[in-house]
Amino acid sequence: MTRDLVLVTGGSGFLAGHCILSLLEAGYDVRATLRDPAREAPLREALRSAGMDAGDRLQVAVADLMRDEGWVEAASGCAYVQHVASPLAAAAPKDEDELIRPARDGTQRVLRAAHRAGVRRVVLTSSFAAIGYGRAVKRPYDERDWTNAAAPGLAAYPKSKALAERAAWDFVDGEGQGLELSVVNPVGIFGPLLGRDLSASILLVKTMLDGRLWAVPRLMFGVVDVRDVADLHLRAMTDAAAAGERFLATAGDFMTMQAIAQALKDGLGENAARVSTRVLPDWLVRFAARFSATARQAATPELGRSKNATSAKAQAMLGWQPRPAAEALVATGESLIRLGFVSPRKP
């Protein structure tokens, strides 16, 4: 059993926690970066809740994407890096650089430290947001596609992901030559929570289960289970063929929000009694966008737009097999109820 050391950035996050668990289960030692050392205890408790007492196989390093300090020390002695950390604001930022700078500059800091430390390969968590925005295609999006960061009205988040990933590829083509890079581009990540940090996708399900969405807009996006995304990170880290490649991670065809709501109702029964499958009129979404920067940047440009993506490359090249989207959604709801974020009572 291998005891190579793997650095996982943003260790307290939803996906990072599952990446750490996957690595520990596969026999690796892990060093996780945290901005706040006080987050170590909740991380260890979250792993224990999943049946993993990490002990001394888990180390913690303090580092911040916006600061140079700590990254070289964090990467020292590591065979691999999974760079999972990236900023995601709950609402549209007033200044897009609040997202772009930590994503792009932070990625460069991690790659520079990994190169200096002699790391074999970095697996970067990018996003479908770096693939499928700012330009339309008539086929399912795949790894050949790139978000047009210069598109008028493009929201800060997809711009940040596209620019950060571009910066990563530019680095390994330039000063980082010799460092291998693989990139994972997941769609919306759902699935069971390990701890109490709620990502944007988890908050969406919570909002639906709470009954705070009386109707859903005509939006559609991809769904993938967090356990499968962590598994894809591990495959992209260890498979020789994955070096220099991007891998789009989606569990299947994109779903409308109405279909997502119906999947929750079908899978959770009475626990999803407050979930609405009514569809919000487009004119009302556009009206709300006049008063909400979040609605204006995130929802309105995609309203009523049919889009899809494929993970055929990851499945064919790496043997990756994701769970069905409905299973990921139901697992999200079940863990929200189990952890007390959502009351199971009827409306």
Q: Hey, what are 1's tokens?
A: 């059993």
CA nearest to 29, candidates 49, 8, 48, 10: 8
Say how far apart CA 178 and CA 186 lie, in whole Å: 26
Q: Is 164 exposed, middle or buried (0-12, 13-18, 19+ CB in 10 A)?
A: buried
Q: Which helix (DSSP H) or strand (DSSP E) does residue 304 occupy? A: none
Q: Which of 219, 189, 216 is nearest to 203 (CA)?
A: 189
206 in active site: no
Scored b (16 or more CB within 10 A) or e, 202-239 reads: bebbbebbeeebeebbbbbbbbbbbbbbbbbbbbbbbb
- Contact predicate 204/332, CB 8 Å: no
Residue 125 CA to residue 18 CA, distance in Å, equals 13
Of the residues 161, 307, 313, 346, only one is catalytic, namely 161
5/135 Cα distance (integer angstroms): 40
Cβ proximity of 220 and 211 under 8 Å: no
User: How many CB atoms are closer than 10 A to CB 240?
Assistant: 7
Burial of residue 322 (number of CB atoms within 10 Å: 0-12, 13-18, 19+): buried
Within 10 Å of residue 160's Cβ, how many Cβ atoms? 28
The phi and psi torsions of 334 (rounded to 5 degrees) equal -60, -40
Q: How far apart are CA 166 and CA 178, in angstroms?
A: 18
Q: Residues with catalytic annotation?
A: 161
